[in-house]
Amino acid sequence: MKHIYSILFLLVILSCGNNEKETEVSIESQSHQEEVVISASQFESENMALGELSMQDFNQTITATGFIDVPPSSRASITTFMEGYIKNTPLLIGDEVKKGQLLVTLENPEFVELQQNYLEVSNQLAYLKSEFERQSTLYKENITSQKNYLKAESDYKSNLAHYNGLKQKLKMLNINPQNVENDKISSTINLYAPIAGSITKVNVSNGSYVSASNEILEIVNTDHIHLELMVFEKDILKIKKEQPISFKIPEATNDIFTAEVYLVGTSIDTANRTIKIHGHIEDDENSSFVTGMFVEAQIITDASKGNAFPKGAVAEIDGDFYALVLEKQQDDYIFEKTKVEVGKQTEDFIEVLNIEDFRGKQVLAKGAFMLLSSGE
């Protein structure tokens, strides 16, 4: 017995006479097979499209969020060992600096006092060393007492320790001890870049007072950026080193970028029950990422491929899935409703298991879901 079902689509077509035209799409069922007939005008006006089986990726993934970061060795916080006033800071956020480049000049009278102390100790050291050597010789010849020898030794070694301590302080402040010994005393010290990179923070201005605990500048080198992701505890056992990662920067672009799991954390953040995942970005040296960018990532734990249709080509009816296979195309498009055995699904595609029913055939890839759902 033939059962005829009709789906009426009312289309408004502007013409000279402003006439309205009704287009009919019919679905016929016979011997468990159903035909759908669509006119050429209906096909075009509804922007329908044909498609066929295509190989697609059906990956098992774990969703993670995080941010773009750099290794600790690529980030430097510029501070001073002694407080002072900023005399010169010519740099701005975004400026590129080279390793060893002058960043900031500080001024403080205490710098002068430190150099004076060093110079005094340095001058006294020569005398104490000579006296110690003299007393040592006399003591060996039993000319002087042990007490005098030990006192000369103590004075010399105590002064030597003081001298070496002051010398190291000067070096930490980037003051050349040899210049001080040549009576070249300065009221300023210079701070230099320990790494090459870009200035990301400037917390001072000329005349500012900074203490030893204040951060003056921050430098970040983005030559080797990476992903710092957070994964929930329930998923961590599925993640292994070298698993591929796809990620995007939702606030900046829709492009998809790739990375790889490099390190898996070994401790859980008890506040939110997450574990950190360190990922290496492919071709990171040629990227334009900025540290701190928020990322949404998919860690691929199992990769597979399969023959698939676009999701718009398949409709679920009473627990079964169907697609419309093109049988004939003349004035009208004639489709046959065919059952689909489905497998894995992604956001855009659905895997087809009974591929022999569709191999080499075209299906209605856009619009089938609407027709099948409405026809039922």
233: domain CATH number?
2.40.30.170
The verdict on residue 242 lying in a domain is yes
The verdict on residue 153 lying in a domain is yes
Which pLDDT belongs to residue 142? 85
CA 265 vs CA 176, 241, 259: distances in Å: 44, 11, 17
Tokens matching residue 314? 């398949």
The verdict on residue 359 lying in a domain is yes
Helix (H, G, I), strand (E, B) or coil at 372: helix
Pair 323, 287 in one domain: no
Pair 232, 297 in one domain: yes
Pair 33, 67 in one domain: no
The verdict on residue 201 lying in a domain is no
Pair 226, 297 in one domain: yes
Structural domain total, the chain: 3
Pair 247, 289 in one domain: yes
Vertex 326 angle, CA 324 and 328, to 5°: 140
Pair 292, 319 in one domain: no
First to last CA, the chain: 18
Boundaries of domain holding 314: 3-56+308-341+353-375
Which pLDDT belongs to residue 1? 34
The verdict on residue 121 lying in a domain is yes
Could you give the CA distance from residue 150 to residue 318 in angstroms, rounded to a whole number?
Answer: 104
Which pLDDT belongs to residue 30? 38
Tell me which residues of the chain have a pLDDT lower than 70.
Answer: 1-33, 286, 373-376
Pair 230, 169 in one domain: no
The verdict on residue 90 lying in a domain is no
The verdict on residue 261 lying in a domain is yes
Tokens matching residue 253? 């672009």
Contacts of 373 (CB under 8 A, 6+ apart): 315, 317
Which pLDDT belongs to residue 87? 92
Which pLDDT belongs to residue 5? 33
The verdict on residue 213 lying in a domain is no
Q: What is the value of pTM for the model shown?
A: 0.64
Pair 289, 319 in one domain: no
